[in-house]
């Protein structure tokens, strides 16, 4: 999962890659609906996704502390730290999604 998020983050942070994703979406949805409307992601949607990827990759003070302590812990506790870091990242992504309105759009 970390590898996938790293790749997604690198794609969304690169302007050229973002442009290619938008062009691909436009090609896939170029037929439009019966009224001729096209359901293509706009720039604000792409920026919201980019902010989610950025939120996942950034580390807050709590995450930094846990990662600093990790090498000094037993293997079992290192796994617990890894899980805690993942949970902290998910909470950060959730909060970012909620603040940007993505959660409201989904439900």
For residues 8-32, give the mean pLDDT: 64
CA distance 43 to 104: 18
Q: Are 89 and 63 in contact (CB under 8 A)?
A: yes
Residue 78 has pLDDT above 80, yes or no: yes
Query: Where do the domains of the chain lie?
Result: 1-40, 58-107
Q: Are 81 and 100 in contact (CB under 8 A)?
A: no
CA distance 53 to 92: 10
List pLDDT tens digits, range 29-72.
Answer: 554 444 555 556 667 777 777 777 777 777 889 999 999 999 99
Kindly report the pTM of this predicted structure. 0.54
Q: Are 96 and 55 in contact (CB under 8 A)?
A: yes
């Amino acid at each position: 999962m970390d590898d996938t998020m790293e790749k997604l983050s690198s794609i969304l942070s690169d302007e050229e890659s973002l442009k290619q994703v938008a062009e691909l979406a436009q090609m896939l949805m170029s037929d439009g609906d019966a009224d001729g409307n096209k359901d293509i992601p706009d720039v604000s949607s792409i920026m919201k996704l980019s902010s989610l990827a950025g939120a996942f990759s950034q580390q807050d003070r709590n995450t930094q502390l846990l990662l600093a302590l990790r090498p000094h812990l037993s293997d079992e506790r290192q796994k617990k730290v890894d899980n805690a870091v993942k949970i902290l990242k998910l909470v950060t992504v959730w909060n970012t999604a909620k603040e940007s309105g993505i959660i409201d759009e989904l439900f």
